[in-house]
């Protein structure tokens, strides 16, 4: 359903571009705006992965540095039937994650250390599967197309605002100015709707990849609270990258609205719970999936690691690095999850 919704939204954006371009810029103006927007967004598409990782201070890790994390990404990538992406870790107390890459062959998954300290093994698998779904379905390309059309509409609207648009468009001065003001607003709304639609697709596909929708639902509840409580200074300095993250990393953006890059978290959890019922998945360790309060309890009673919360170090003197899980715990558990 959300695949169709994305297609409809992109078609609406194209129609809006043709309408505004014909009214304000004519054929020549449309082509100039489209070429300009295409050039700038192609550059961003080609370099967006490196730019996003660098802007967030991501550090690439290998299997020697993060053996369990690396194996989890590799196993889930095999289930998703995509090449193994590069794995990055970001030193940040805010629990969050994002994926980038212009295609599956150039994919990368970046995880905050705060995320790995907070989530259980199952929940972390749900988050990683969500990010792999973004890579699998080339969401970077989808958002680039959306941004290109929105940029072209904004360029034409600016020309219409300053130069009066086409004289023979039948709209008059007031109509031309109104279209020049409202068109970029409409394009932004459609662009944000595309972004929200892709999150629902990644939630569903990620749940299918990891095998349990409730893992991701539980993770989203924790990440949402953590993202609201902990400031992400890098994201605040680069708000244009907010749509990349699994949960909006910006402060004061918890309400779902037309201009939000992410769906309301409670709506996402409800959709995942419905998917869990359809898949006949009823439980997650220590978490009641269908209670009235989907956010309770804050942490499962026991995780797959055999303790209430996984510990990745960094929080106590002499602990392991945030991306090197405790080896003794891994040896005691010896379980790789439903995919292995």
What are 53-75's pLDDT values in tens digits?
988 999 999 999 999 999 999 99
Q: How confident is the model at residue 312 (pLDDT cuts 50, 70, 90)?
A: very low
Q: Where are the domains of the chain?
A: 2-307
Active-site choice (131, 233, 266, 333): 131
Are 191 and 150 spatial neighbours (Cβ–Cβ below 8 Å)? yes
Find all residues with CB under 8 Å of 237, minimum gap 6, and list them. Answer: none
CB 226 within 8 A of CB 254: no
Task: Report the pLDDT value the prediction gives residue 161, as an integer from 0 to 100.
Answer: 63
- Beta-carbon contacts of residue 298 (< 8 Å; ≥ 6 apart): 222, 225
Rounded to whole angstroms, the Cα distance separating 158 from 180 reads 7
- Annotated catalytic residue 122: no
Q: Is the pLDDT of residue 103 over 80?
A: yes
Question: Residue 88: which H helix or E strand, with range?
Answer: strand 86-90
pLDDT at 310: 34
Which class for 287: exposed (0-12), middle (13-18), buried (19 or more C-beta within 10 A)? buried
Range 165-189 average pLDDT: 71
Q: What is the DSSP letter of 252?
A: T
What is the chain's alpha carbon radius of gyration, rounded to the nearest angstrom?
22
Q: Mind listing the pLDDT tens digit for each residue in 4-16?
A: 777 787 788 788 8
What distances in angstroms separate CA 189 from CA 132, 240, 259, one per listed residue?
26, 15, 6
- Least confident piece of the model among 111-125, 145-159, 296-310, 326-340: 296-310
- Average pLDDT of span 67-86: 95
Q: Which pLDDT belongs to residue 177?
A: 76
Q: Which tens digits make up the pLDDT trace of 31-48?
A: 777 777 777 767 766 777
Residues 6+ apart with CB under 8 A from 50: none
Per DSSP bridges, beta strands 86-90 and 59-61 are antiparallel
Tell me which residue has tokens 């695949």: 3
Residue 129 or residue 150, greater confidence: 129
Q: From CA 220, how far away is CA 89, in angstroms rounded? A: 19
The dihedrals phi and psi of 110, each to the nearest 5 degrees, come to -120, 130
Rounded average pLDDT over 17-40: 73
Structure tokens at 33: 């705006």
Give pLDDT, residue 90.
95
Least confident of 119-123, 170-174, 231-235: 170-174
Q: Compute the mean pLDDT over every residue in the chain, rounded to the nearest whole number.
A: 76
Rounded Cα–Cα distance for residues 110 and 193 (Å): 24
Token pair listed for 284: 């997650």
Q: What DSSP designation does 24 have?
A: I
**Sign of the CA dihedral 56, 57, 63, 69?**
negative
pLDDT tens per residue across span 206-237 = 999 999 999 999 999 999 999 989 988 888 88
Render 208-250 in DSSP notation, one character per residue: HHHS-HHHHHHHHHHHHHHHHHS--HHHHH-GGGGGGBSS--S
Separation of alpha carbons 306 and 329, rounded Å: 8
Find the helix or strand (DSSP H, E) in which 108 lies.
Answer: strand 108-112
Written as six digits, the tokens of 174 are 């007031």
* Inter-helix orientation angle 172-210/67-80, to 10°: 110
Predicted confidence (pLDDT) at residue 260 exceeds the cutoff of 70: yes
What integer pLDDT is reported at residue 334 of this predicted model? Answer: 40
Judged by average pLDDT, the poorest of 30-34, 163-167, 227-231, 261-265 is 163-167
Predicted local confidence at residue 205, as pLDDT: 96
Q: Cα separation of 248 and 237, whole Å?
A: 14
């Amino acid at each position: 359903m959300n695949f169709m919704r994305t297609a409809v939204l992109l078609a609406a954006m194209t129609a809006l571009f043709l309408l505004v371009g014909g009214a304000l810029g004519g054929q020549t103006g449309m082509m100039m705006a489209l070429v300009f927007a295409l050039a700038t967004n192609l550059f961003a598409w080609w370099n967006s992965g490196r730019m996003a990782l660098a802007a967030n201070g991501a550090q690439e890790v290998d299997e020697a540095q993060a053996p369990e994390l690396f194996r989890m990404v590799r196993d889930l990538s095999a289930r998703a039937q995509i090449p193994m992406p590069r794995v990055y870790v970001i030193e940040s107390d805010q629990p969050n994650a994002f994926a980038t890459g212009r295609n599956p062959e150039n994919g990368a998954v970046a995880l905050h250390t705060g995320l790995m300290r907070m989530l259980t093994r199952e929940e972390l698998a749900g988050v990683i599967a969500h990010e792999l779904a973004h890579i699998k379905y080339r969401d970077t390309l989808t958002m680039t197309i959306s941004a290109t059309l929105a940029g072209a509409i904004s360029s034409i609207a600016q020309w219409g605002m300053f130069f009066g648009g086409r004289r023979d468009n039948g709209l008059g001065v007031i109509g031309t100015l109104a279209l020049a003001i409202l068109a970029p607003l409409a394009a932004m709304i459609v662009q944000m709707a595309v972004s929200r639609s892709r999150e629902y697709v990644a939630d569903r596909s990620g749940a299918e990849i990891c095998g349990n929708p409730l893992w991701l639902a539980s993770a989203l509840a924790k990440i949402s609270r953590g993202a609201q409580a902990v400031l992400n200074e890098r994201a605040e300095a680069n708000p244009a990258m907010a749509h990349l993250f699994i949960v909006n990393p910006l402060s004061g953006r918890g309400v779902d609205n037309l201009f939000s890059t992410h769906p309301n978290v409670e709506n996402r959890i409800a959709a995942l719970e419905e998917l869990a019922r359809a898949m006949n998945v009823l439980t997650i360790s220590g978490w009641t999936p269908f209670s009235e309060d989907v956010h309770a309890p804050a942490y499962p009673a026991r995780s797959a690691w055999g303790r209430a919360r996984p510990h990745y170090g960094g929080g106590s003197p002499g602990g392991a690095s945030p991306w090197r899980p405790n080896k003794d715990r891994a040896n005691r558990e010896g379980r790789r999850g439903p995919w292995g």
